[in-house]
Amino acid sequence: MSPTRLTKPFFVLGIAATLLALTSASSAAPRKPNSADANTDSSSNTAQEHLAFTQNGHPQTADGRILIEAADGGILLQTNDGQLYQLDRANIHERAKLDEPFKPLAPQILAERLVSEMPAGFRSYNTPHYVIVYDTSRTYAQWTSSLLERLNKAFTNYWQGQGIELHEPEFPLPILLFATHQEYEQAAREDLPGGTGSIIGFYSLRSNRVNMFDLTGTEALRANGARGSLKEINQILSQPAAEPLVATIVHEATHQISFNNGLQQRYADIPLWLCEGMAVYFEAPDLSSTRGWRGIGRVNYPRLEVFHKHLPDWNDNTLEFILRDATLFHNPRTAFDAYADAWALNYYLIKYQTKNYTEYMKMLAEKPPLVDDTPETHLAEFREHFGDLNKLQQDFLKQMSRVK
Ligand SMILES: [Zn+2]
């Protein structure tokens, strides 16, 4: 069964070091719970079509596979670089089946395509999982790729160790690395039309790319020595002042990995308290080792501090309110506390309800794109895995008040 209509997703998961922000594509569409025949194992979907359509007022053509087709004719198209296009029927002018099967681009071809989309001066650097397109120094691109490969391995091993079946990313993971904040700002226009503000890196669900800039050029860190060699870059970014900046990169990269290894599906209705809190759980950077990745599940002290400060605001219904929908994340006045609460909740559930959390993650991994659940469904699914909310909230607050 197809969904009757596709809901509007959030396009960008962006987080700033001090102020947190999420941008949504539009106000929430009325929700229609539907079972969809969305192909949750999209890698087996190789039928390809040629489409002509209008998006943002521009006529375009693209070849790709159809991930979802709604009863009203709206479709979700994926091109071979991994990008998603959500198209209303009225904007689709032509559809034709292609004989050639859909196949993700090889890393080198993707790299060439990305370089050609960028202004002059960009190069690419490929590693087993990443295509890094940069106009920073080559050493900075190498430093970044080493960080990301180590994270990728540790993060994937962690969830596989919990018994979740994951797969290698179907597409090479694109990272855009800008030498200056100004270039980064310019390139972010499509995803963040209101500007990047204090968002220093983001993962775009639409493009599947992480955008970031050379953190060693950040004003607060710049005074601290040369930034040429791998060792110098590591020194600069190991300072305490750099930790929240590097944590942001790790956070965004965690989103990208999750949405490419089968842990979560892009545009699926993954509760934000889970999606964001889990990314925060993993965001503590490890710059001390060149191979491993220590610190997964370490207490996140900046978040703990915010959580403790904000504890007096909790009442009997707070947990239910967090679980119902994403209201707290979307309101700039409550977003900062919402991230801290989300971290605390994920920390508690991963530590004290490990098995239930894993089962809950497995259930979320099956959620198809662009089918939204009601607040009642969110609550029912949570209760199914973790039991009575009042009891859980009491235990959660008791345990978290002891975390020092
Ligand atoms: Zn995030």
3-class secondary structure per residue, 91-158: HEEEEEEECCCCCCCCHHHHHHHHHHHCCCCCEEEECCCEEEEECCCHHHHHHHHHHHHHHHHHHHHH
Do the beta carbons of residue 284 and residue 254 sit within 8 Å?
A: no
Do the beta carbons of residue 86 and residue 369 sit within 8 Å?
A: no
Average pLDDT over residues 298-314: 92
CA of residue 279 to ligand 1 center, whole Å: 6
CA of residue 249 to ligand 1 center, whole Å: 10
Give the pLDDT of residue 28.
31
Q: Which residues pair with 15 in a beta bridge?
A: 20
| DSSP, res 317 | T
Examine the pLDDT at 366 and tell me if it is beyond 50.
yes
Do the beta carbons of residue 22 and residue 87 sit within 8 Å?
A: no
Average pLDDT over residues 309-315: 93
Each residue's pLDDT tens digit, 187-223: 998 888 888 888 889 999 999 999 999 998 877 676 6
Give the pLDDT of residue 203.
94
CA of residue 50 to ligand 1 center, whole Å: 33
CA of residue 266 to ligand 1 center, whole Å: 13
Distance CA 28, CA 298 (A): 35
Do the beta carbons of residue 323 and residue 292 sit within 8 Å?
A: no
CA of residue 94 to ligand 1 center, whole Å: 36
CA of residue 58 to ligand 1 center, whole Å: 30
Sole residue written with tokens 């601290």: 224
359 band by pLDDT with thresholds 50, 70 and 90? very high
Each residue's pLDDT tens digit, 224-234: 666 788 888 88
Half-sphere exposure for 225 (CA within 13 Å, toward CB): 13
CB count in 10 Å sphere of residue 401: 11
What one-letter code names the amino acid at 170? E
Examine the pLDDT at 58 and tell me if it is beyond 70.
yes
0.85 exceeded by pTM: yes
Give phi and psi for 386, each to the nearest 5.
Answer: -120, 0
CB count in 10 Å sphere of residue 293: 21
CA distances from 120 to 179, 212, 216, 281 (A): 13, 18, 22, 38
What one-letter code names the amino acid at 57? G
Distance CA 17, CA 194 (A): 18
The two tokens of residue 367 are 């959620």
Give the pLDDT of residue 6.
64
CA of residue 382 to ligand 1 center, whole Å: 21
CA of residue 201 to ligand 1 center, whole Å: 10
Q: Which residues pair with 13 in a beta bridge?
A: 203
Do the beta carbons of residue 125 and residue 142 sit within 8 Å?
A: yes
CA of residue 44 to ligand 1 center, whole Å: 29
CA of residue 253 to ligand 1 center, whole Å: 9
Each residue's pLDDT tens digit, 8-48: 655 666 654 433 333 323 323 333 333 344 444 567 788 99
Do the beta carbons of residue 55 and residue 46 sit within 8 Å?
A: no
CA of residue 248 to ligand 1 center, whole Å: 8
Give the pLDDT of residue 295.
75
Angle at 379 between CA 377 and CA 383, to 5 degrees: 115
Distance CA 345, CA 394 (A): 12
Distance CA 130, CA 249 (A): 14
Across the chain, what does the average pLDDT equal?
88
CA of residue 276 to ligand 1 center, whole Å: 5
Strand bridging mode 123-126 / 92-98: unpaired
Strand bridging mode 173-178 / 210-213: parallel
Do the beta carbons of residue 55 and residue 92 sit within 8 Å?
A: no
CA of residue 24 to ligand 1 center, whole Å: 13
Each residue's pLDDT tens digit, 234-285: 888 888 888 888 999 999 999 999 999 999 999 999 999 999 999 999 988 7
Do the beta carbons of residue 15 and residue 248 sit within 8 Å?
A: yes
Domains (ranges, CATH) in the chain? 107-268 (3.40.30.160)
**Ion ligand 1: residues, CB < 5 A:** 13, 15, 276, 279
Cα of 269 vs its chain's centroid, Å: 13
Distance CA 87, CA 73 (A): 9
Average pLDDT over residues 106-110: 98
CB count in 10 Å sphere of residue 375: 14
CA of residue 372 to ligand 1 center, whole Å: 19
Average pLDDT over residues 105-117: 98
Q: Which of 312, 329, 252 is nearest to 285 (CA)?
A: 252
Give the pLDDT of residue 51.
98
